[in-house]
Amino acid sequence: MELSIIIPVYNSKDYIERTINSILNQSYSDYEVILIDDASSDDSVSLCNKYLSSNIKLVELKENKGVSNARNVGIENASGDYIMFLDSDDWLDTNALLEVTNNIKDNDLLVFGTTYYRNNGLFKQELPLIKELEKKDLFKDIFLLLDISIAHWITNKAFKTSIIKNNNLKFNVDIKMGEDLDFSLRYIEKINKLTIIDKYLYFYDMTNDNS
């Protein structure tokens, strides 16, 4: 299995089908989807159940413990060589998984662009001019590293599963803000190389009040 896509779900009945369908419509098929329902009180679980298959599975948590815990459960269940994180109200470009697999070889971290969806249209995230960073340069320019595209989000990245699991990297469940940044920086400490590609593969829905 090449890719594991982890999707935390919490009261996402209005969005989750769009999210799952964006994966089913991919031009690449060697993936698994791990849906982690965080004790939703709406119809999210019944909607997720419609899509269950050999490569789409659902883990139902009995107690709502937040997105960091849900992602950690997803990591525990991941069997792919690489991990991607997708929020339950966002979606992927049709060629996202193909682009990731074509570009992630020889990289410990792949970063790609995000397109923001607002009521008044689509807006692309600005990507850094630099496209490749080796270990000796990773923390050389902390301001570049803290660029929103490199460290602040986890949804615009593909991570190597072995690095996460061999270093027991988990999301800090005690952090309510900045958990993506915290995880990204701890992961980057363990890698040798990251690459940024000029491809906008992730769609971030800013119309949802919970985004």
Burial class (CB in 10 A: 0-12, 13-18, 19+), 196: buried
Per-residue pLDDT tens digits for 56-94: 999 999 999 999 999 999 999 999 999 999 999 999 999
Per-residue pLDDT tens digits for 162-204: 999 999 999 999 998 999 999 998 998 899 998 999 999 999 9
> What phi and psi values does residue 104 have, to the nearest 5 degrees?
-85, -15
| H helix intervals, the chain | 16-24, 44-49, 67-77, 96-103, 142-145, 161-166, 179-188
Find the length of the chain.
Answer: 211
pLDDT at 45 > cutoff 90:
yes
Per-residue pLDDT tens digits for 97-130: 999 999 998 899 999 999 998 887 888 877 776 6
